[in-house]
Amino acid sequence: MNWVQRKIFLYNVTFGLYMLDWWERCLFNMLVIVLMWFIFYNSSRYVTVFLKGDASEGWNCVCYTVVSLAKTLPVIF
């Protein structure tokens, strides 16, 4: 078993994917990829805001975005 195969095996065992069918594993992996893309894309946008100009502008932008996003999300209890 080479290094990549060991890492894939560790990923499958850690998240319990070894007991899923191939299509369930594929759905889970697509969800993880979309979530990671969303995190990396948005964090890169905010980093550019922080690096560009005044830091207070960046914080205002982030706070406004978080508040506006929180207002649009449905509340689940």
Q: Which range marks the domain in which residue 42 is found?
A: 3-72
Residue 61 has pLDDT above 80, yes or no: no
Calculate what percentage of the chain has a pLDDT beyond 70.
68
With respect to residue 65, please indicate whether it lies within any of the assigned structural domains. Answer: yes
With respect to residue 63, please indicate whether it lies within any of the assigned structural domains. Answer: yes
pLDDT (tens digit, 9 = 90+) per residue, 34-53? 999 999 998 888 888 777 75
Mean pLDDT of 9-30: 93
With respect to residue 37, please indicate whether it lies within any of the assigned structural domains. Answer: yes
Ordered alpha helix ranges (H), 1-77: 3-14, 22-51, 55-72
3-state SS class at 16: coil
Q: Report the pLDDT value the prediction gives residue 34, as an integer from 0 to 100.
A: 94
With respect to residue 46, please indicate whether it lies within any of the assigned structural domains. Answer: yes
Mean pLDDT of 29-33: 94
Q: Count of domains in the chain?
A: 1
With respect to residue 77, please indicate whether it lies within any of the assigned structural domains. Answer: no
